[in-house]
Amino acid sequence: MFVVVWIRSLGVKIPSMKHPFFKMLGALVACGVVVCLVPACSSNQTIALRGAAQFDASHVHTRTLRKFEELVKQYYGKPITFELYLNSELGLEKDFFAYMSQGISVDYALVSPSHMSTFSKSAPLMDMPFLFRDAAHWNTVLEGDALKPVAAEVAGKADVMLIGYAGGGTRNLIVNKPVTNLAELRGLAIRVMGSPIQTRIFQALHAAPTVIAYNEIYNAVQTGVIAGAENEAAGIAQMKFYEVGPEISLTQHAITVRPVCMSGKTFRRLPEDLQAAILRAGREAGAWGRQAELSEDAAILAKLKAEGKLRTHVFTQRDELMRLAEPVKTAYAQEIGAGDVFARINAVK
């Protein structure tokens, strides 16, 4: 009855208690389900947050999200539950990001910066090949504030918060034939992520890049639509790309950045002490994920090689790849209004 009075107080006309709404409400109450019709029912209600991952429980990205949940519980110190949907049950990373932007379905996830390009022109800078000199440079950049302008743009235009930075996989080419130099790379049909800089860089390297959904890579290589793709060791193992692309060309063209993302719409509905716990946990879980993936990356590749599932090939002209990519990187950073961010990253020692 209280619900009826409350709804009518808002000026909403309720036909009668026989209305289908109340039949459904009665069924839910009979089943012991508590229905909340306002953002916060009471201080005693347990808050539930929903996350999503493309991979299974063993993948380092999933484990990073589990670490985030663990740290939030620790720092919040009050009842809270997490529902983490694995194996692309709620879609792919690009879907997760769109859901977080809308404030529906997904509250937190790890997302590749390239999938943020619809909302933020500068975000794909973090995925730009040859952006980092080495692992030490990569980690120092992510520990500092060089990327703050990018995070601010993502928050402003997509309403998604970048609360930490995970990643750490070294990306190489996954090919159905050995590729060891520029001549063998020329014209190679290779899948890239849906970001303009990915396409431009590989065009500059004289390959033939094409954008294909992540979950379609295996079949595309298997059927000859493309000759290969590019990915880090964890992805190669998880998706079994080695079955169709067993020749790994060690171009080492990127060290991944995978922001820990939180829906801004969700975040603003939460109590201040939980907000503080989430921000702290995001930073620390990101650092944990970087260390985990960085340390595991080479080991995964070595294990697959020892098991005879793939073969690695040194790319003998990597310096030439970097030279060809440099003007494209500089021009793209200026084009997307991230020239200052690019300069700050380059200036990090």
Give 236-245 pLDDT, tens digit per residue.
Answer: 999 999 999 9
pLDDT, tens digit, 9 for 90 and up, residues 89-104 = 999 999 999 999 999 9
What pLDDT, on a 0 to 100 scale, did the predictor assign at position 12? 39
Helix (H, G, I), strand (E, B) or coil at 340: helix
Question: How far is Cα 321 from Cα 291, in angstroms, rounded to an integer?
Answer: 27
Inform me whether the pLDDT recorded for 250 exceeds 60.
yes
Inform me whether the pLDDT recorded for 344 exceeds 80.
yes
CB 246, CB 223: distance < 8 Å: no
pLDDT, tens digit, 9 for 90 and up, residues 171-182 = 999 999 999 999
Helix (H, G, I), strand (E, B) or coil at 297: helix
- Strands 208-211 and 189-192 come out as parallel
pLDDT, tens digit, 9 for 90 and up, residues 214-225 = 999 999 999 999
Backbone torsions φ then ψ of 83, nearest 5 degrees: -120, 110
Question: How far is Cα 319 from Cα 323, in angstroms, rounded to an integer?
Answer: 6
Fold of the domain built from segment(s) 48-347:
D-Maltodextrin-Binding Protein; domain 2 (3.40.190)
- Angstrom CA distances, 256 to 17, 135, 213, 270, 273, stand at 56, 10, 18, 30, 31
pLDDT, tens digit, 9 for 90 and up, residues 101-156 = 999 999 999 999 989 988 999 999 998 999 999 999 999 999 999 999 999 999 99
Let me know if 319 is exposed, middle or buried by CB neighbors in 10 A (0-12, 13-18, 19+).
Answer: exposed
* Start and end residues for every CATH 3.40.190.170 domain found in the chain: 48-347
pLDDT, tens digit, 9 for 90 and up, residues 27-85 = 333 333 333 333 444 456 899 999 999 999 999 999 999 999 999 999 999 999 999 99
Q: What percent of the chain stands above pLDDT 90?
A: 83
What pLDDT, on a 0 to 100 scale, did the predictor assign at position 43? 56
The closest of 165, 177, 112, 172 to 297, measured between CA atoms, is 172
